[in-house]
Structures are given as structure tokens and as C-alpha cells.
Amino acid sequence: MLEVKKLVRPELLALEPYHVPSHSGVIKLDANENTYDFPQEVLEDVFRAVDGQTFGRYPDPSAEVLRTALAEYTGVAPDRIVVGNGSDELILTLMLAFAAGGKVVIATPTFGMYAIHATIAGAEVVALPRRAGFSVDPEAVLAAAGRPGVRLVVLCSPNNPTGNTISPDVTAQILDGTGAVVLLDEAYYEFCGETAVPLLARHPHLVILRTFSKAFGLAGLRVGYMLAGEEVTGMVRRIKQPFNLNAFSQLVAARLLTWRPVFERRIREICRSRDELLAAMRRIPGVTVFPSRANFILFRTLFPAQQVYEGLLVRGVLVRLLDGPDLPGCLRVSVGQPDENAAFLQALTEVVEKRG
């Protein structure tokens, strides 16, 4: 009998898959989603645009309409934009294009899929710990990027799960000091308004990732996009799947951008709720809260994180358990609607009081 495992690379056998626990009947604050209902007026506009050909034909492989809309939104020319089936697809494609057989420097702790995609692509991960307070040390990044075989550097701003940003000056310093491709994930850009897009003009090795999943509430349709120089986008187009983003997702994302004021109001509401939630959590004895410029908050308590997680879950609130070597005792809560945030605060207070 053929042993399938013998056909698989050893590093893939050792790979821990990205795990998302599933629970029904709870307040779901674990995935950094936009918890508001999709605006009804936008839904109606989308469905008016759907016709009898939308689902029966292959999608536009170049996503021209969506890229044109994104060009107006970002100020980046359409030929320097590539869209994907979520940012995940673009991360993997970038790893395959530039890092396979080489090394990838990743500033940790951060989003776990960077390392998973690097491993799948056949790249070696070089984990570079952040400084106290989770800031990035540009000198350390450049030293790591200067090692033999390093082809790609991964940064995230605001960083998931810590919520802090990397200033454009630090990003520019890193870009000036390395010839590796620098991937800057700005998935939570809309919540902080700070971007490295102006650096694209003079740094052809900069790649900026964005998503519609967070601020725009399209997590279920999987729409991500990258902004980069023509050499990078040209290489990515060579190897991406030809019909990688379905027709309905293209249509919805493009229509959504014509309704930006609606979403911008929601984004302001979420940021206001985030700041209120931060302040309220700080008033709970024994809870340490980390500043955030995204739509989530990292925190820890005096008690084992697993017990806090389970205590919240018993009370109907699901958060993200992050306890591990990089984030000992830590959990992450997404900013929800006001009633969801109130339920979380009540549950957290009860868990802390019960533990003494």
C-alpha cells in the first residue's frame, strides 16, 4: 500500500493548520469581523445590478471594473492593483512568486497565516520578535533581512493581534535598507487612516495588502487586493489563478465603493465603540489592556487565559484565545455593536470577580 505521507514534504506534515473554533448561539467577537448587518440600501443596489448572466459566465480575470473603482479609492493606478480571493490568496501567491526556496522574515507576534503560507510555498520562516509594546525595531528587521536567502519581509499595520501601527517613517527606513520584497498588510487601514501608499512611488519592492473583509463587512465574499509596482503585479498575474475572484464578489465590492459614506459612518461608530470599550476594560481590576488602532483589542488578566476564555464562552461570548509563548495569557476581542460590547464587559467582569 502506498503511504501518502511519504509523498509530502516533512515541513507540511509538521504544519499546524489554522484552527477556527465553531460555536452556535453565542456573541461572536473572535474574528475581527464587522458585526453590523450589511446596509439594506447597498444590498438592494447590489441585487439590482445582478442579471441573468452574472452567475453563468466566467468572471473577468482582470477584474477591470473593480480595479478601476479601487484606483479611485486608493489613488493607485489600476495596472498596479491585483485583486484576490481574500488577502490569503494574495499572500500565498506572493510567497510562491518571491519566497519559494528562500527565507521570509516575519515580525512576530502577528497573523498566523503568514508563516503557514510561507511554509506551504516552500520558504523558511525567520521569526523576528517585536520589541516590548509590540513595536517593530527597524534595525533588527534590516539585520534579519540581510541574512543570506531572505527574499521577503512581512509586516502588518495595524498589527493583528496587537493593534499597534508601524509609522510610514519606519516602513521607509526598512525599504531603504533592503532589496527584499516588503509586504505590508494594511487589512485594518480604515480604522486608523495611516497608510504607506505614498511610499509606492519610489519603492518598487513594496507591496501593500488591503481587504474588504473588515471595515467593509465582506468577510463572507472573500475580496482582497494588493497595491504594488508594475514588476511585482506583473509577476503575481503570471502565477495567480485566472478566474480567482468570482463575478458576484467583484460586483459587490465595486458597487460597495460607490456607497463609501455609508461605511465611513459605520467605521467611525466602530472606532468610537473601540475607544469606549478600551476605557471600560481598563476599569476592570486585574485586566491589562493594550492600545489598539484597529477593530479589536488585545488583553490579558491575572488568571489563566484558558479559564477566562471558557468563562466567557459559558456566558455566551466567544473571543479569540491567543495564549502562547509570544502572547502569554492573552486573548483578543473584536469590537462589536454596543449591546454586544456591553454583554462582553458584563461577562468579563463576572469571570474576573468569580476568580477573585
Average of per-residue pLDDT across 6-16: 89
Tally of structural domains, the chain: 2
Domain final residue pick, 260, 290, 321:
260
> How confident is residue 73, by pLDDT bands cut at 50, 70 and 90?
very high
Task: Write down the pLDDT at residue 265.
Answer: 96
Task: Write down the pLDDT at residue 21.
Answer: 79
Q: What is the CATH number of the domain that holds 48?
A: 3.40.640.10
Claim to verify: residue 9 and residue 52 sit in the same structural domain: no
Claim to verify: residue 211 and residue 348 sit in the same structural domain: no
Claim to verify: residue 196 and residue 253 sit in the same structural domain: yes
With CA atoms as reference, report the closest residue to 137 among 166, 157, 163. Answer: 166
> How confident is residue 20, by pLDDT bands cut at 50, 70 and 90?
confident
Claim to verify: residue 269 and residue 253 sit in the same structural domain: no
Task: Write down the pLDDT at residue 308.
Answer: 97
Look at residue 228 and tell me whether its pLDDT is greater than 80: yes
Claim to verify: residue 70 and residue 172 sit in the same structural domain: yes
Claim to verify: residue 234 and residue 140 sit in the same structural domain: yes
Domain final residue pick, 235, 260, 285:
260
Claim to verify: residue 115 and residue 135 sit in the same structural domain: yes
With CA atoms as reference, report the closest residue to 205 among 148, 155, 147. Answer: 155
- Give tens-digit pLDDT for 320-329: 999 999 999 9
Domain final residue pick, 260, 294, 309:
260
Claim to verify: residue 215 and residue 67 sit in the same structural domain: yes
Q: How far is residue 214's CA from residue 331's CA, in Å, rounded to a whole number?
A: 19
- Give tens-digit pLDDT for 134-158: 999 999 999 999 999 999 999 999 9
Q: What is the CATH number of the domain that holds 314?
A: 3.90.1150.10
Please enumerate, as own/partner, the contacts of 167-174 that have beta carbons within 8 Å and a separation of 24 or more. Answer: 167/194, 168/194, 168/195, 168/196, 168/198, 168/199, 170/136, 170/138, 171/196, 171/199, 171/206, 172/196, 172/199, 172/203, 173/138, 173/142, 174/138, 174/141, 174/142, 174/145
Average of per-residue pLDDT across 85-104: 97
Parent domain of 25: 4-38+261-355
Claim to verify: residue 114 and residue 175 sit in the same structural domain: yes
Claim to verify: residue 193 and residue 255 sit in the same structural domain: yes
Strand partners, 318: 28
Task: Write down the pLDDT at residue 1.
Answer: 56
Average of per-residue pLDDT across 187-209: 97
Look at residue 175 and tell me whether its pLDDT is greater than 90: yes
Average of per-residue pLDDT across 207-224: 97
Task: Write down the pLDDT at residue 239.
Answer: 95
Claim to verify: residue 26 and residue 55 sit in the same structural domain: no
Task: Write down the pLDDT at residue 16.
Answer: 83
